Amino acid sequence: MKFYETIIAPATAFGQSGIGIIRISGSSVAQIIKKFLNISMKERFAHYTSFLDINGNIIDYGIALFFSAPRSFTGEDILEFHGHGNPILLDLLIENILLLKNVRIARPGEFTERAFLNKKIDLIQAEAIGDIISAQSKLAVKSALRSLSGTFSKKICIIIDYLKNLYSRIEAIINFPDEISNFFDIKNNLSKTIKLLKDLIYIAKKSNVLQKGIKIVIAGPPNVGKSSLFNYLSDQKISIVTNVPGTTRDVMHNSIYINGVSCELLDTAGLCKSNNTVERIGIKLAKKNILDCDHIFFVLDITNNNKINNHMILNSIYKLQKNQNITFIFNKIDLVNQIPRVDIIHKKFSCLYLSVKKRIGVNLLTSKIQEISRILNNAEGIFLARRRHLVELEKSVNYLIIGKKDWLENDNIELLSDNIRLSMQSLFMITGHFSNDDLLNKIFSEFCIGK
């Protein structure tokens, strides 16, 4: 795709630095080289030269790089100035180049948008560039790089190929009903494709946690040591700690990094029946965050045996959302002369016995968080998926499940054909082969200028 205007923008963050980079893409690059560098440039070669203003006066000295279309990031001619990282110099050079006709400042993400529109990358890879820049952990960076390399795209394309094959075979059956057809083979291939999509959704959900981080909510009754635990894990005093029940009324947040994974910790109000309006609001917020988290640290005071029973523990487990987990923490073991230990209940839920105040057994808690993050670290080949990708994947698999059910129960192969077509459309929305302008504008507007 050929664009009328040439775009320019700084490719480095604003502020003083060792190097400042300006990126230019478009048909006016040759004119800019002649006017502002006045040298003969070799493609993909670093030229040390002077940078000139519109009148031929020297503005700066640095490295200039030229990438010829179509062998460039955007698929157009690209020119980069690598000069001294003084914003005044960069602005001066940009101001002079903007004096040329048909050259303008790039919109946020416009370089990547042009790469997508020129079919240099698909939409998954375009979004991966933004994810690499905004990643909050080492593991998220690695996963975004896998998406950029095409890992996610290849998996989607394999499923699309299966669906295309199924769609063409079913359309042939509809148009030529007298021909002998292997319905058993179609059913098997449909089941196989549904399984592939479900497996992909499972991985995508894991990768979505990488992007937003693991959300751990510290919950439990009032005055059991939740805020002390939050402060210990945060390695700083953030929450107020007193002997008065109901001290914490708002939700306190802090992020920590374990094994390269971002963990968001939340200290919440004590769960109880209260007549205090403010405390009731805090309890409501606590319950909302409990429903929305990945892991719950449910803290209990071991000295209050009358409030700890199997019914209460089982009730907490039964209320868990899908893909949620819970760890029960029995605090204040120093008051009952117990030793720190780990028990497992109902085959998979950990019970940690410790004392936060006396720092007895707190290493068990650190090990537990490391275990939670290690599950993600061990996910080989994981890519980074956005919430939008998950929505389209789930729509895609649901179309197939509905179509298969209706075909087998009502012998309606025409509806199966329609559902396969809709399933493919959802996958095309992920790769960008079938996207509306509003979606593209939303995605690329989230990028920084110069990308």
pLDDT in tens, 22-41: 999 999 999 999 999 989 99
Contact 252, 266 (CB under 8 A): yes
CATH of domain 129-208+386-431: 1.20.120.430
Q: How far apart are CA 251 and CA 240, in angstroms?
A: 12
Residue written as tokens 């708002």? 250
What are the pLDDT digits (tens) for 340-398? Answer: 888 887 677 888 999 998 999 988 888 888 787 766 555 555 677 777 888 899 999 99
For the chain, where do the domains classified as CATH 1.20.120.430 start and end?
A: 129-208+386-431
Binding site feature residues for GTP: 223-228, 242-248, 267-270
What percentage of the chain has pLDDT greater than the value 70? 83
For domain 218-241+248-377, give the fold: Rossmann fold (3.40.50)
Bridge partners of 243? Answer: none
Average pLDDT over residues 268-292: 81
Sign of CA dihedral 210, 13, 130, 122: negative
For the chain, where do the domains classified as CATH 3.30.1360.120 start and end?
A: 6-121
- H/E stretch holding 327 reads strand 325-331
pLDDT, position 204: 82
**What single-letter DSSP state applies at residue 350?**
E
Binding site feature residues: 23, 80, 120, 223-228, 242-248, 267-270, 451
Q: To the nearest whole number, what is the mean pLDDT of the chain?
A: 84
Residue 436 banded pLDDT, cuts 50, 70, 90: low
Bridge partners of 49? Answer: 62
pLDDT, position 123: 85
Torsion of CA 255, 147, 323, 279, to 10 degrees: 30
The residue type of 28 is S
Binding site feature residues for (6S)-5-formyl-5,6,7,8-tetrahydrofolate: 23, 80, 120, 451
CATH of domain 6-121: 3.30.1360.120
**The Cα angle at residue 429 between residues 427 and 434, in degrees rounded to 5:** 110
Binding site feature residues for Mg(2+): 227, 248
What are the pLDDT digits (tens) for 297-306? Answer: 999 888 887 6
Binding site feature residues for K(+): 223, 242, 244, 247
Residue 309 banded pLDDT, cuts 50, 70, 90: low
pLDDT, position 375: 61
